Chain A
Amino acid sequence: MAVITLQTFFIALFGIAALWFGVVVFRTSSMMRSALALLFSQTALGAMFLAMQAEFLGVLQIMMMATEMSIMAIFMVMFMMDPGGLGEMEMTHQKRLSIAAGVIGALAVSGVALFAHWGPVTTVAPAAAEQIRGLGTELLGRSMIIFETAGVTILTAMIAATAVAMPALQRKKTA
């Protein structure tokens, strides 16, 4: 019982941290701070996965997001007029509509979470080694086509992104 209580505490703690840093992303005028806040939010989510005993997914989330958000921070410096936020620029529009949509969306999803019947809850999770074995069997067995499709999709996206980002060719006019 004590373990479950501690687990609930850490899930809630990291969840609140993820939400708090998620809010900070849109409250700071510095885009660098926004990128770092998103990194902390995603890292808190990874820690939350670890608290939920999903070790592999937690570590994967932290590693992946650390890389992704670092790249995002570099892009902020490259492309933003004021990445440090020294000019206090206003970079929002339709604020009331957005707040209303966000609040209504969050309340609707929370309502579903609260009132839906989710069925019996399991308190015991498989051991970490068993999870890795089970996920590996799933990936290389029943879900192999889906997994392969995801890999090909990432490759396609990489090629497409590179092609889009390349400067337009200056073709020589032929006489």
Chain B
Amino acid sequence: MSPDLLTALIVGAGLFGIGLYGALSQTNLVMIMMGVELILAGALVNLVAFWRFLHPGSYAGQMFVLIVMTVMAVEMAVGFGVAIARFRARGSVEMEEARELKG
């Protein structure tokens, strides 16, 4: 296997692991969003690497990258909207204090 492709995929795996840790361990909504951003960044690296080293002639790979970037932007917009609403209602965005959402 190409060392370039392998390096990129390992970096993607590392970012996924770090993001997963962050999303599960943090108690603050904005920090959880940072974890999700890192998970999506891992997906981005993989997509760019697959396009570059496996199918550089097919631009559907780059299209997928744009879609993931859209998902990142949407996640941030909705996340911040929820954060503002939560802050207005409870004065905090700590998820430890949001246990009532558990049902």
Contact = CB atoms under 8 A, between A and B. Distances in A.
Contacts of A54: 48, 51-52, 62
Interface in A117-175: 118-126, 131, 134-135, 137-139, 142-143, 146-147, 150, 153-154, 157-158, 160-165, 167
> Is the contact region of chain B dominated by helix, strand, or loop, or is it mixed?
helix
A29 to B, nearest CB: 11
Interface size class of B (residues with CB under 8 A): 35 or more
A118 B16 contact: no
Interface residues of A, number: 87
Interface string A56-86: 1100110010001001100110011100000
Given A31-B30, A95-B25, A98-B21, A48 B45 contact: yes
B31 interface: yes
B59 A138 contact: yes
Closest 10 CB pairs of A and B: A106-B17, A161-B81, A102-B21, A98-B25, A15-B11, A113-B9, A109-B13, A165-B84, A138-B59, A98-B24
Given A11-B7, A106-B17, 15 more contacts: A16-B11, A22-B15, A26-B25, A38-B34, A41-B38, A45-B41, A54-B52, A92-B25, A102-B24, A105-B20, A106-B20, A109-B17, A119-B54, A154-B77, A158-B77
15 contacts: A15-B11, A18-B41, A22-B14, A22-B18, A26-B25, A26-B35, A31-B31, A42-B41, A64-B72, A94-B24, A131-B59, A134-B59, A138-B60, A139-B63, A165-B81
Interface of A: 4, 7-8, 11-12, 15-16, 18-19, 22-23, 25-26, 31, 34-35, 38, 41-42, 45, 48-49, 52-54, 56-57, 60-61, 64, 68, 71-72, 75-76, 79-81, 91-95, 97-99, 101-103, 105-107, 109-110, 113-114, 118-126, 131, 134-135, 137-139, 142-143, 146-147, 150, 153-154, 157-158, 160-165, 167
